Amino acid sequence: MTVFDVGANVSEISLLFSRFVGTTGRVHAFEATGSTFKKLTQVCQLAGRHHIALNHKAVADKEGILKLHIYDENHASWNSLADRLHYRYGIDVKSTNIEKVESVTIDEYCKENSISQIDLLKIDVE
């Protein structure tokens, strides 16, 4: 079984999926935010889940380097490739940083990793 977790965050769902795929399956986790990816890596290592492929990449419609708008920790779920104009909605929160992140397409990733079928695709991204 092959599962893709796009927008893996700190791994709650990736860990759950890893139980379903068993020892012969694989979870491919993608997380674009650097600090979140670091936590994802730590949690998966501590849990001993070696059949989770960790990818510090954004999944997009093209490969390359993209700009990821980073918000403070209270608004980290707003991190996005889009430059959001929150002020239009009366929200006075601006991104605090921009990270450059490598992007990959699902098709190219599957080709590079000899994946012929995805059994479950979970996407939770902004």
At 111 the pLDDT is 98
Domain residue ranges in the chain: 2-123
pLDDT at position 71 is 87
Cα separations (Å) of 38 from 1, 30, 52, 118? 26, 12, 14, 25
Tens place of pLDDT per residue across the chain (126 aa): 999 999 999 889 999 999 999 889 999 999 999 999 999 999 999 999 889 999 999 999 999 999 999 988 887 787 888 877 677 778 778 888 999 999 999 999 999 999 999 999 999 997
CA-closest candidate to residue 27, choices 104, 115, 126, 125: 115
> pTM of the full predicted structure?
0.90
